[in-house]
Structure 1
Amino acid sequence: MSEKIRVAVIGYGNVGRFAVQAVKNAPDMELAGIVQVPRINKPAELHNIPWVDSISELEGIQVALLCTPTRSVPDAAKEILAQGINTVDCYDMHDTLADLRRELDDVAKAHNAVAVVSAGWDPGTDSVIRCIFEFMAPRGLTYTNFGPGMSMGHSVAVKSIPGVENALSMTIPTGAGVHRRMVYVQLKPGANFEEVEKNIKNDPYFTKDETHVQQVADVDQLIDVGHGVVMERKGVSGQTHNQLLQFSMKINNPALTSQIMTASARASLKQKPGAYTMIQIPIIDFIYGDPDDIIRHFV
C-alpha cells in the first residue's frame, strides 16, 4: 500500500468529532492532528493525537478538513491553501458557494493546491443526485424536501447572534421544496427576546423561509442531530412524460457530513490545482481502491 494521506481536522465541534472517526477508519489516511482555535482543554479521547493552535505546528499535512462554521470558511481556506495544503469544507450557503469557489480557485492555483467546496450532503452529494436526475429527465421539476431535523448551519448562525446562549434550528418540510424553520433559543441573562427574534429573521440563513422563534430554558434537552431528505423529480425523457424519480435518506447529520468530507479529501489529491464543487469531480475519485476493481464492483 502507498504512503497514507496525512489529514488535519480543523475544529472539534459537531462535525470535527465525527471527522476524527472517519479519518481514523479510512484505510488510506492518517490523522496527523487537530487544530482547535480558540484553545480548549484537550478531550480525554484524544490523548494520543496532536492538539495544536495552528496547522503550521503539524508536519507533512496534505489535506485539511475545515470542520468550522460556514462564515469562517472563506478566510480559513485561503490561509491554508496559501501554504500549499488542500482544503475540504462543508460551506452550506447555496446562494454564495459558486462565488466562493471562484475566489478559492485563484488562491489554490497560485499555490499548487486543491480546494473542494461545499463537500457535505446538501450542498454536496444531494447536488450530485440533482444533476443525475437532470440528465435522466432533462425537462421537469425537482423538489428537495429536508427534514424534519436539526440544521447545523442554521443553528450555528443563531448562536452567533448577540444575546443567544444556545440555539437549535429545526427544518420542517411543508412540501414541494418549501420549509419552515423552527428556532429554539436559550438567552443570556438580560437579553431581549424580541430583539433576538428580529435579528434571527433578518439573518440570510432565514430570510427565505417561514421562521418561528421560541424561547426555551435549556436547548440541550431538545437536540437530536438526526436529519433527512426526500428528493423528487417529475420530468420528461426525450418525448416521454411522467418520469418519476425519487431519492430519500434518514441520517445522522454531522456523521454523514464528515464522511463525505473525508472521501473528498481523497478525491482532492486526484485533481489538478484549483477549486471544485462535488459535481465537478468524477464519482470514482471519492472511493478508496483500485479504479478497475471499483468499476468491476459497481458497474
Structure 2
Amino acid sequence: MATRLRAAVIGYGNVGRYAVEAVQEAPDLELAGIVRRDPSDRAGIDPSVAVVGHVSELGRVDVALLCVPTRQVPEVAQRYLAAGINTVDSYDIHGELVDLRRRLDPVAREHGAVAIVSAGWDPGTDSMVRAMLEFMAPRGITYTDFGPGMSMGHSVAVRAIPGVRDAMSLTVPVGQGVHRRLVYVELEPGADLEVVTRRILEDPYFQHDETRVIPVPSVEDVVDMGHGVRMERKGVSGRTHNQRFLFDMRINNPALTAQVMVAAARATFRQRPGAYTMLEVPVIDYLPGDREALLRRLM
C-alpha cells in the first residue's frame, strides 16, 4: 500500500473541526495533527489526535489545511510554503483572490511547494460550475443567489471588531444576485452598538450589500450552519437562444468547505510547484484513486 500523505489542520474553529473529520475519512490522507494557538485546549478533540503549537512538532507534514480567518491566510500560507509544505486555504474575498495567487506563486515555486487558494464552495466549486455554464452557453447572464445561511467569512470579520463578543452574519438572497446581510451581534458589556454598527458597515465585506445589524443576548441561540446557493444561467449556445441551466444545493457550510479543502489537498500533489485557483486544476486531480479507473467509472 502506498504511503499516505500527512495533512495538518491549522486552526480548530468551525472549518477546522470538520477538516479533521474529512481528513480522517480520506483513503489517501493521514491526519498528522492539529496546530492551534493554545495546544492545551483539547475540548472535543479525540485523545489520539496530536494538538501542538507549531507544525514542527508533528514530524513530517506534506500539506497544511489553513483553517484560519481569511485575513490571516496570506501571511500563514507564505510561512508554510517557505517551509516546503503544500497549502490549501478557503480565502473568500472574491476581488482579492487573484492577487493572493500572484503573491503566493513565487514563494511556492522557490520552495518546491504547491498552494491551492480559495478552495471552498464559493469561491471554489461554484466558480468551476460558473465556468462550465459559461462554455455551455458563451453568451448570457449567470445569477448567483446565496443562502439564506451563515457566511463564515463575514461572521469572523465582525467578531474581530472591538466590543463584539460573538457574531453571525446571515446572507439573505433578494434575487438576481442581490443579497442582504443580517448581522446578529452579541456585545461585550459597555460596548456601543452605534460604534460597532459603523465599523461593520465600513468593512469591505459589507460595503456592497444592504446590511442590518441586530443586537441579541446570545448569538449561540440563533446560529445555524446551513447555507446554500442557486445559480441560474440563460444564454446562447452557438446561435440558439433560451438555453437554461440551474445548479442548486443546500449544505452545512463548514462541512462542505472542509471537504473541498481535503480534495484540494490531494490535488496539490498532482501539480507543479506554484499557486493555483481551483479553476486551474483538472477536476480529476481532486478525486482519490487511479486515473484510468476514474475515467472508466465517470465517463
Could you tell me the TM-score, scaled by structure 2's length? 0.99
C-alpha separation between the residues in 1 aligned to 2:2 and 2:63?
16
> What does residue 67 of structure 1 align with?
67
Matched letter for residue 173 of structure 2: P
Matched letter for residue 117 of structure 2: V
> What does residue 76 of structure 1 align with?
76
1:210-261 Cα shifts (integer Å, max 9, x gaps): 0000111111000000000000111111000011011000000000000000
> What does residue 114 of structure 1 align with?
114
1:151-195 Cα shifts (integer Å, max 9, x gaps): 000000000001100001000000000000000000001100000
Q: CA deviation at 1:40?
A: 4.8
Matched letter for residue 154 of structure 2: H
Matched letter for residue 111 of structure 2: H
**SS of aligned partner of 2:8:** strand
Aligned residue pairs, count: 299
1:35-58 Cα shifts (integer Å, max 9, x gaps): 001445212532111110011211
Q: CA deviation at 1:197?
A: 0.3
How much identity, in percent, do the aligned residues show? 60
**SS of aligned partner of 1:91:** coil
Where in structure 2 are there 5+ consecutive unaligned residues?
none
Matched letter for residue 253 of structure 1: N
Runs of 4 or more consecutive aligned structure 1 residues displaced over 2 Å after TM superposition: 43-46
C-alpha separation between the residues in 1 aligned to 2:48 and 2:26?
18
Where in structure 1 are there 5+ consecutive unaligned residues?
none
**SS of aligned partner of 1:46:** coil
Q: How does 1:56-205 map to 2 (within 5 A)?
A: 56-205=56-205
The verdict on how the C-alpha distance between 1:40 and 1:180 changes in structure 2, with shifts beyond 3 A counting, is farther
> What does residue 219 of structure 1 align with?
219
> What does residue 283 of structure 1 align with?
283
Say yes or no: does 1:31 pair with 2:61. Answer: no
Q: CA deviation at 1:274?
A: 0.2
> What does residue 274 of structure 1 align with?
274
Matched letter for residue 261 of structure 1: M
Could you tell me the TM-score, scaled by structure 1's length? 0.99
Say yes or no: does 1:9 pair with 2:9. Answer: yes
